[in-house]
């Protein structure tokens, strides 16, 4: 079940919201846990057992860490089991295929169904036991807060990745208000609009180019396809994050922001402070800093950065393309740290243009069917040649939506005066805009339009 579906919008969400109101504070966590497990079981009827196991395992690990002398051993075992489950479901096939390719062996590659959102809820589970070990939070004696934290449906399948310390108090004490519901519903509508009205339209243009393949695509269509996907993935993922934050607010939770107009970045370093901010915070908190961060000299700092970017690419998918994408960003960050960032800082316009172009090229590896096709598409972007006709990429609607995507990715927010934005917030005009966005989203979904979800595979 996805947020941008009729079942979720018309049936699941209204019933869960009403049910949560009726159960009251005392039974709210139990009700939300059952609703979240049902939400997960809708798409994964059998693999919901994996979710339940993750909850029980990490709840018990947290108690053991707090109440035994061998805390580090328990942390290691708890984390190892979490990562082994993630590794089996997400990376076993990739590993066997790689061994077969390199060694010429013929190991049978099992057809393993990837549990939805396993990367997200696994990282949250590790966050819980790691924070208990470090004394940042107390282990919960009540299993319900831990269960809701790991399984809560708004951020279950696409984040944001929430650290337990950020929501510990909210899991025990939270208040649903009419104002919170209104603000959350508004945020949800904006996210739904990003996903349905922008990302889904641009997806058709990107698919037309990447499904055609690099051979004979032409330089201009290759760039158009890359740009279409660049904005598609932003509006798809940030739209889902907005919906998650809005839903959380409707139920009395405040989740951390996940995006801050990343395409306005003047460097790759800044881009990763603005893109998927909760993933970056997770790797910084639980990988980069434990490895030594930047406290042990330049060589160690660079090595730690390379490790983090490698793992960031691997986290996104079990394929060489994702690893190369992560290392590509690592290389760009490395070059900036060697002194190129000082050059970028001399011109805000040029630095933003170079950063955006570099990010756009990287997304080609992310989108292509395989590494060879991705590299061929990048080559096509820099090789003058005739290819696909522009009308094969979309119509006037696609062009208009593309223009809106560019303006809405930070350009408008940067240019509009703060006073004007403040006057728009919670005004009659904004209420009208939200109503119109919701109407057009529901109309598009009722028409059974194209509705892909990029981060479903993670």
What are the catalytic residues? 316
Cα–Cα distance, 390 to 408 (Å, whole number): 24
Cα–Cα distance, 72 to 192 (Å, whole number): 43
Token pair 């009729």 in the structure block, residue: 6
**How many residues does the structure list for the chain?**
458
Contact of 325 with 237, CB cutoff 8 Å: no
Pick the closest to residue 244 from 150, 362, 161 (CA basis).
161
Decide: helix, strand or coil at residue 1.
coil
451 Cα distance to chain centroid: 17
| Angle, vertex CA 241, rays to CA 237 and CA 243, nearest 5 | 115
Helix 396-406 vs helix 200-212: angle between axes, to the nearest 10 degrees?
110
DSSP 8-state secondary structure symbol assigned to residue 285: I
Cα–Cα distance, 180 to 20 (Å, whole number): 15
Contact of 316 with 326, CB cutoff 8 Å: yes
Q: What are phi and psi of 426, to 5 degrees?
A: 60, 25
> 60 to each of 57, 64, 129, 140, 304, how far by Cα in Å?
5, 6, 9, 10, 31
Contacts of 246 (CB under 8 A, 6+ apart): 183, 184, 185, 186, 187, 188, 189, 190, 191
DSSP 8-state secondary structure symbol assigned to residue 319: S
Number of neighbours of residue 229 by Cβ within 10 angstroms: 25
Pick the closest to residue 123 from 171, 88, 96, 157 (CA basis).
157
Decide: helix, strand or coil at residue 174.
coil
Cα–Cα distance, 65 to 59 (Å, whole number): 10
């Amino acid at each position: 079940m996805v947020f941008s579906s009729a079942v979720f919008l018309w049936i699941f969400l209204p019933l869960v919201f009403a049910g949560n109101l009726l159960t009251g504070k005392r039974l709210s966590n139990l009700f939300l846990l059952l609703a979240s497990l049902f939400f997960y079981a809708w798409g994964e009827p059998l693999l919901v057992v994996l979710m339940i196991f993750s909850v029980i395992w990490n709840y018990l690990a947290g108690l053991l860490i707090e109440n035994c002398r061998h805390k580090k051993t328990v942390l290691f075992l708890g984390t190892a089991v979490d990562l082994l489950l993630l590794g089996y479901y997400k990376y076993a096939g990739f590993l066997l295929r790689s061994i077969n390719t390199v060694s010429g062996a013929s190991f049978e590659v099992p057809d393993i169904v990837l549990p939805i959102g396993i990367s997200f809820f696994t990282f949250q589970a590790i966050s819980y036991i790691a924070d208990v070990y470090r004394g940042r939070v107390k282990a919960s004696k009540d299993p319900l807060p831990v269960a809701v934290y790991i399984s809560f449906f708004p951020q279950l399948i696409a984040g944001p990745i929430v650290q337990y310390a950020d929501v510990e108090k909210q899991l025990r004490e939270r208040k649903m208000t009419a104002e919170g519901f209104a603000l959350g519903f508004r945020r949800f509508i904006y996210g739904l609009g990003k996903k349905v009205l922008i990302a889904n339209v641009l997806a058709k243009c990107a698919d037309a180019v990447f499904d055609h393949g690099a051979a004979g695509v032409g330089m201009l269509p290759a760039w158009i396809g890359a740009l279409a996907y660049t904005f598609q993935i932003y509006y798809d993922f940030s739209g889902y994050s907005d919906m998650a934050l809005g839903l959380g607010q409707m139920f009395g939770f405040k989740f951390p922001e996940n995006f801050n107009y990343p395409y306005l970045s003047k460097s790759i370093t800044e881009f990763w402070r603005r893109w998927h901010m909760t993933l970056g915070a997770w790797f910084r908190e639980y990988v980069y800093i434990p490895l030594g961060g930047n406290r042990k000299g330049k060589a160690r700092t660079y090595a730690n950065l390379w490790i983090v970017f490698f793992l960031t690419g691997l986290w996104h998918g079990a394929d060489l393309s994702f690893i190369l994408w992560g290392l590509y960003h690592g290389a760009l960050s490395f070059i900036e740290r060697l002194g190129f960032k000082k050059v970028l800082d001399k011109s805000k316009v040029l630095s933003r243009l170079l950063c955006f172009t570099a990010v756009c090229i990287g997304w080609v590896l992310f989108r292509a069917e395989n590494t060879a096709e991705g590299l061929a598409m990048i080559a096509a972007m820099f090789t003058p040649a005739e290819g696909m006709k522009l009308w094969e990429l979309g119509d006037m609607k696609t062009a208009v939506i593309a223009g809106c995507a560019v303006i809405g990715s930070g350009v408008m927010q940067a240019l509009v005066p703060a006073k004007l934005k403040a006057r728009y917030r919670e005004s009659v005009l904004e209420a009208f805009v939200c109503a119109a966005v919701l109407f057009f989203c529901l109309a598009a979904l009722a028409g059974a339009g194209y509705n892909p979800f990029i981060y479903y595979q993670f």
